[in-house]
């Protein structure tokens, strides 16, 4: 079985969607039923798929898509060019690593879409007024066109059920994300001053739902409330986004320039070391679809403090500390929660198979096989009907 994974996106640095595509490729490449895995990425993405995610191997072929990095060109490429590539390389299934506009009738194999979240509806400020309208249109079109929709969590599946109640019984299922970060491959980050003193860590793109402004305010409160935190710094790892300018401005207003470090392009081996050495990993998001950093941090033995929202409870369970976002002085409450969580004993590394390739890969393969068999049966029936029509014509 040859699986073609499409990961062409605007991202010029590692992002959650890119990480999902890389993890999916690694996950499938170890399955006996999968003979070949091809990953399609933009020219601007190929290097970090190979280097940051360690995806350079004989088991996965990375191809650079011939497309410009702008929204119009990428959407046209998905709609017109991707079907040609799938036919040309003999793919048995095409897996979209995120919703993109596709023309289903142009494919001769199943098309599967990974749905991480419903941010165009749940967090529209991530996109802006005009872009969110197009994102909603493309999301709906892709969900309708795909043969199967794989939700990354029960929470995402439940949100999809609310938004598209008819679609879920027909084609939606939940398969957790596979997490490939290896705690044994930690390496010191490229900028050693980051880990020169005790530090808090968060891993998130600069988007509104990540609540990074709340975290900065809480960090300032923590430094004011407790003298023992004067040497503490905050490391924010994540690609720039709509909130970047606001975050830098807030750092200036709070006079935190010496204590806040922004990083955007760390390799997995560097990220792993930050998870292992941080005093506390913090995820203050208002909404998530899955949240790789929670599982990665737990696998590396981090203390983890999360906002108390359903999906983070689903993913982190009893292994994390939680704080409520529904408080009048949320920044002060978060500062107190950080102080308390840092005093907790460091946990043992998380070793559950729930997000491992061993657990997840067979679920993907079973889905691909069912879809391929169903489409094959439909094609055979169509040919049989065509032969019957031809026979009738000749007989008459």
* Mean pLDDT, residues 277-294 taken together: 96
3-state secondary structure of 11: coil
Average pLDDT, the chain: 89
pLDDT of residue 375: 80
CATH topology of domain 2-180: Rossmann fold (3.40.50)
**DSSP codes joined into one string, 237-280:** E----TTHHHHHHHHHHTT-TTTEEEE----HHHHHHHHHH-SE
pLDDT of residue 370: 94
Over 50: is that where the pLDDT of 111 sits? yes
User: Which region among 83-97, 122-136, 148-162, 228-242 has the lowest average model confidence (pLDDT)?
Assistant: 122-136
pLDDT of residue 378: 54
* Mean pLDDT, residues 23-49 taken together: 94
Could you tell me the pTM of the whole model? 0.89
Which DSSP category does 126 fall into? Answer: G
Q: How far apart are CA 101 and CA 257, in angstroms?
A: 42
Q: How far is CA 233 from the centre of its chain?
A: 27
Over 90: is that where the pLDDT of 126 sits? no
Task: Check if the beta carbon of residue 196 is closer than 8 Å to that of residue 178.
Answer: no
Predicted confidence band at 391 (pLDDT cuts at 50, 70, 90)?
very low
Segment 173-196, tens digit of pLDDT? 999 999 988 777 666 665 656 666
3-state secondary structure of 329: coil
pLDDT of residue 9: 95
Architecture of domain 183-342: 3-Layer(aba) Sandwich (3.40)
For the chain, give every residue range classified as CATH 3.40.50.2000: 2-180, 183-342
* Mean pLDDT, residues 362-378 taken together: 87
Q: Which of 246, 242, 238 is nearest to 217 (CA)?
A: 246
Over 90: is that where the pLDDT of 220 sits? yes
């Amino acid at each position: 079985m040859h699986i073609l994974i499409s990961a062409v996106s605007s991202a010029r640095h590692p992002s959650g969607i890119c990480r999902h595509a890389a993890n999916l490729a690694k996950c499938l490449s170890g399955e006996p039923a999968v003979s070949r895995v091809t990953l399609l990425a933009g020219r601007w993405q190929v290097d970090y798929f190979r280097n940051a995610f360690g995806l350079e191997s004989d088991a996965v072929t990375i191809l650079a898509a011939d497309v410009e990095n702008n929204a119009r060109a990428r959407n046209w490429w998905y709609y017109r060019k991707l079907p040609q590539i799938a036919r040309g390389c003999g793919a048995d299934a095409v897996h979209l690593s995120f919703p993109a506009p596709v023309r289903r009738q142009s494919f001769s194999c199943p098309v599967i879409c990974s749905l991480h979240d419903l941010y165009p509806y749940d967090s529209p400020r991530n996109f802006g007024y005009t872009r969110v309208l197009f994102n909603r249109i493309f999301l709906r079109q892709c969900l309708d066109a795909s043969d199967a929709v794989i939700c990354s969590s029960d929470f995402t599946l439940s949100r999809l059920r609310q938004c598209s109640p008819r679609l879920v019984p027909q084609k939606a299922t939940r398969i957790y994300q596979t997490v490939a970060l290896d705690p044994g491959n930690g390496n010191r980050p490229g900028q050693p001053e980051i880990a020169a003193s005790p530090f808090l860590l968060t891993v998130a793109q600069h988007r509104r739902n990540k609540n990074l402004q709340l975290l900065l305010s809480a960090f300032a409160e923590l430094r004011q409330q407790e003298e023992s935190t004067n040497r503490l710094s905050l490391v924010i790892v994540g690609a720039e986004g709509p909130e970047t300018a606001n975050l830098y401005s807030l750092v200036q207003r709070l006079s935190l320039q010496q204590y806040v470090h922004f990083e955007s392009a760390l390799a997995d081996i560097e990220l792993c070391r930050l998870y292992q050495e941080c005093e506390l990993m913090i995820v203050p998001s208002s909404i998530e679809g899955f949240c790789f950093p929670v599982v990665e941090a737990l696998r590396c033995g981090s203390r983890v403090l999360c906002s108390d929202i359903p999906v983070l409870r689903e993913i982190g369970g009893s292994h994390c500390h939680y704080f409520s976002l529904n408080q009048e002085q949320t920044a002060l409450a978060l500062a107190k929660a950080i102080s308390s969580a840092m005093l907790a004993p460091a946990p043992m590394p998380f070793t559950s198979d729930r997000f491992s390739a061993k657990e997840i890969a067979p679920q993907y393969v079973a889905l691909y096989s069912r879809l391929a068999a169903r489409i094959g049966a439909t094609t055979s029936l169509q040919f049989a009907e065509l032969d019957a029509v031809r026979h009738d014509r000749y007989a008459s």
